[in-house]
């Protein structure tokens, strides 16, 4: 689902993909391919070195190599972050303080944050959704609302650099917005947004 027409729009841009075992296969590989097709790079950041296991809903899918652990990665080295969903991936990440701090650093630095399906659960645990306009898979929409987000049941919702989406069915629109945001983002693009949690 990568947009080949994007050419080299994202050249020089690097996106961190924060994921763990149990990520939804298409929600990681498809945005990664979209950024690479646009000339950018993506690095997988996880809890441990080696490979992490993807799933196609409940069935095992492709695995992917971890480029850096959370102990090695620094938000300042990336232009944006992607948090894919999956039934198990967010639960592993949201209980890890370092994962929440890493996601929060992109908010603090006003860099684009992309999350899909169950991925926004990580942002809930990091205290980053209050007052934001967002979407997620149906099962997570109520959690977002309870955490103070303004929830829209739409394929993609963009709120000052925070881009959220619902399911793999929405990946075409999600990927297009990822490429658009990462290409247009700068340090002063999105002032006065995000409530920064304290860790």
Active site residues: 117-118
Torsion sign (Cα): 125, 129, 131, 133 = negative
Token pair for 101: 């701090």
Torsion sign (Cα): 54, 56, 60, 62 = negative
Token pair for 190: 């999105």
Written in H, E and C, the secondary structure of 139-164 is HHHHHHHHCCCEECCCCEEEECCEEE
Determine the longest span between alpha carbons in the chain, in angstroms.
42
- Given the DSSP bridges, would you call strands 150-151 and 156-159 parallel, antiparallel or unpaired? unpaired
In this structure, how many other beta carbons lie within 10 angstroms of the beta carbon of residue 158? 17
């Amino acid at each position: 689902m990568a947009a080949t027409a994007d050419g080299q729009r994202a050249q020089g841009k690097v996106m961190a993909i924060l994921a763990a075992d149990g990520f939804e296969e298409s929600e990681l590989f498809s945005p990664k391919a979209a950024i690479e097709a646009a000339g950018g790079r993506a690095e997988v950041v996880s809890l441990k070195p080696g490979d992490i296991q993807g799933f196609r809903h409940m069935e095992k899918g492709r695995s992917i190599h971890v480029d850096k652990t959370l102990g090695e990665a620094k938000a300042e080295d990336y232009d944006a972050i992607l948090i894919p969903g999956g039934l198990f991936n967010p639960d592993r990440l949201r209980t890890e303080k370092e994962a929440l701090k890493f996601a929060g650093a992109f908010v603090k630095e006003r860099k684009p944050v992309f999350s899909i399906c169950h991925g926004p659960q990580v942002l809930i645990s990091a205290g980053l959704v209050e007052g934001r306009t967002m979407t997620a898979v149906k099962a997570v929409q109520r959690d977002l609302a309870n955490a103070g987000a303004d929830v829209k049941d739409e394929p993609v919702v963009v709120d000052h650099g925070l881009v959220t989406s619902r399911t793999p069915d929405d990946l075409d629109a999600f990927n297009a917005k990822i490429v658009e945001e990462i290409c247009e983002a700068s340090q002063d693009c999105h002032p006065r947004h995000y409530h920064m949690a304290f860790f």
